[in-house]
Amino acid sequence: MNQDLKTHINDALKKGIRLDGRKKEEFRKIEIQTGVVATAEGSARVKCGDTEVIAGIKLDIGEPYLDSPEDGVMIVGSEMLPLSNPEFEGGPPRIDAIEVARVIDRGIREGKAIDTKNLCIKKGELVWMILIDVLPINHDGNLIDLGGIAALAALKDAKMVEVKDNKPVFGKKTKQSLPILSMPVPVTVVKIGDNLIVDPTDAEEKVLDARLTVSVLEDGTLCALQKAGNASLSVKDINEMIDLALKKSQEIRKKLEEALAK
Amino acid sequence: MMSSKYNKRANNRGFEESRPIEARAGVIKKADGSAMFRIGKTTAYAAVYGPRELHPKHLQDPKTGVLRCNYNMLPFSAEERVRPGPSRRSKEISMVTEKALLPVVNLEDYPNAVVDVFIELTETDAGSRCAGICAASMALADAGITMKDMVSSVSVGVIDHQIVVDLDGEEEHITDMDVADIPLAMVPSTEEITLLQMDGKVGKEELLKALEVAKPVLKRIAELQRKALKEKYKG
């Protein structure tokens, strides 16, 4: 069945169209909304076409890692919820969800989005932990980008909580925001046949040959890459994919800034 | 090229020079194919079992075989003890290793079968996924799996705008300069890239330059892999 789907998608792409009528370099309409979960310290919902993702931030106080005694801890988690797509089953996260979490994590970490030094309470003993969970409510593709955008919006939305006896007092939010230094926007470019597209749907992801996720900082610096898919890429492909990602990252950054200004 | 604060490497190593490499094929007799690949203080062993029947049966594909890679670090292979069993990191590396090798393996020759590749790191000092891919590629060839070419892999770094081949652990952990680590794998005959990841900050032009710098190094690694395979079958 995937072979027929692939032929169909590929034939359409040769004519420059996609199954949902979009152009190759066109994102679906993105809606970003923050503060959507009252119990979370920060949260955001991103809708893009039929894909809907919620990112939630929970804080905690714990021990730092041995090799970074003065840095707060950040952990990104993701699960492919069975409610979001008929093909997902319950159980511990599988490789698809692990990859989503790790690539989003890589962008935020390597882009130095969080000032982790600012989250140290007592060197080597107590630091703030920022626990980011990115979950699809409806999965119709492009979870890395949309989850990554949701995570950034949620980080910006988050407020620190009060502390008593070195324990966080949940529900008592302060006015203090998290120390966010930058916004590394992830953009995934997908290669199907000879065509490069962005913001793939679930169907397009099923038939892709290769994809490259590029996390981009404000000034166009790249801070994370992840190639996936069964096919290899030439240096020319990589060059074009990064150019497209750079272009699209500006568009998304604008949308994100607009949503956060509200 | 911008001038860089990183102007000297440990042990007088050149910027485009890898650490010493040792490669051997057929090191695990029980396996259908095997190899050891060492680069500096990072040592990977790989064993191939198969093609063998894939179970459970519903996973079988009558049109093609399946490649299954498993990357694992032994408990004593890093500074802190590595807890046995799969982690999120090891699962992701297993997946990208599989994708790095797939483009050269003719799996259509093995319908309904699985080719299992087990990669174990006995000691690590950065570059472990790349060493694992080099060992796995040799082990596949040693097992007689039909392949279009070898896959060679190395990590290339950018430390404060200086391109540096094959980062070691110390370089990877530099904190007072920007360090980007870019694990790469390439099919030497076509120069197609089969593994590309990156963490750390780098501009687009520098990234493309780093890819160019890695090419001759990857071709040299391919020669060493081939030489080790020939060595095994010599007389």
pLDDT of residue A24: 96
Please check the confidence at residue A31 and state whether its pLDDT lies above 60. Answer: yes
Average pLDDT along chain A: 96
- Among A50-59, A89-98, B158-167, the minimum mean pLDDT is found in A89-98
* CA–CA dist A151, A76 (Å, integer): 9
Please check the confidence at residue B155 and state whether its pLDDT lies above 90. Answer: yes
In this structure, chain A runs to a length of: 262
Cβ-defined contact of B92 to A220 (cutoff 8 Å): no
pLDDT of residue A171: 87
Band (B234; pLDDT cuts 50, 70, 90): confident
What residues contact residue A39 under an 8 Å CB cut-off, 6+ apart?
A: none
Question: In the predicted model, what is the mean pLDDT of residues B125-130?
Answer: 98
pLDDT of residue A235: 97
Percent share of chain B, pLDDT over 70: 99
Please check the confidence at residue A19 and state whether its pLDDT lies above 90. Answer: yes
Please check the confidence at residue B235 and state whether its pLDDT lies above 80. Answer: no
| CA dist list (Å): A177 to A29, A43, A139, B40 | 28, 13, 30, 45
Band (B81; pLDDT cuts 50, 70, 90): confident
* CA–CA dist B20, B36 (Å, integer): 14
pLDDT of residue A145: 98
**DSSP readout, A37-62?**
-TTSSEEEEEEETTEEEEEEEEEEEE
Percent share of chain A, pLDDT over 70: 100
Average pLDDT along chain B: 96
- State the CATH architecture for A20-261: 2-Layer Sandwich (3.30)
| CA dist list (Å): B35 to B28, B43, B138, B194 | 7, 11, 6, 20
The two structure tokens encoding residue B196:
């590309």
Give the pLDDT confidence of A163-174 residue by residue, as tens digits: 999 999 998 999
For B211, which residue in chain A has the nearest alpha carbon?
A235
Q: Nearest CB to B208: which of A226, A229, A239?
A: A239
Question: In the predicted model, what is the mean pLDDT of residues B65-86?
Answer: 93
Please check the confidence at residue B151 and state whether its pLDDT lies above 60. Answer: yes
| Chain A residues in contact with chain B using a Cβ-Cβ cutoff of 8 Å | 66-67, 93, 95, 98-99, 101-102, 106, 109-111, 212, 217, 220-235, 238-239, 242-243, 246
Give the pLDDT confidence of B167-181 residue by residue, as tens digits: 999 999 999 999 999
* CA–CA dist A206, A209 (Å, integer): 9
Q: Nearest CB to B92: which of A102, A223, A246?
A: A102
Domain ranges of chain A: 20-261
List the single best residue of A225, A233, A241, A250 to mutate versus B (max B Cβ within 10 A): A225
Please check the confidence at residue A1 and state whether its pLDDT lies above 60. Answer: no
The pTM (predicted TM-score) of the whole model is 0.90
Cβ-defined contact of A238 to B182 (cutoff 8 Å): no
Please check the confidence at residue B117 and state whether its pLDDT lies above 70. Answer: yes
Taking contacts as CB-CB distances below 8 angstroms, the residues of chain B near A99 are 92, 95
Percent share of chain A, pLDDT over 90: 94
- Among A51-55, B82-86, B89-93, B140-144, the minimum mean pLDDT is found in B82-86
User: Which run of H or E residues covers position A224?
Assistant: strand A222-228
Give the pLDDT confidence of A195-205 residue by residue, as tens digits: 999 999 999 99
Considering only CA atoms, give the Rg of chain A: 19
Residue B81 exposed, middle or buried by CB count within 10 Å (0-12, 13-18, 19+): exposed
Please check the confidence at residue B1 and state whether its pLDDT lies above 80. Answer: no
pLDDT of residue B78: 92
Percent share of chain B, pLDDT over 90: 94
pLDDT of residue B2: 64
- Set out the domains of chain B in order of their start, with CATH numbers: 10-233 (3.30.230.70)
Question: In the predicted model, what is the mean pLDDT of residues A36-55?
Answer: 95
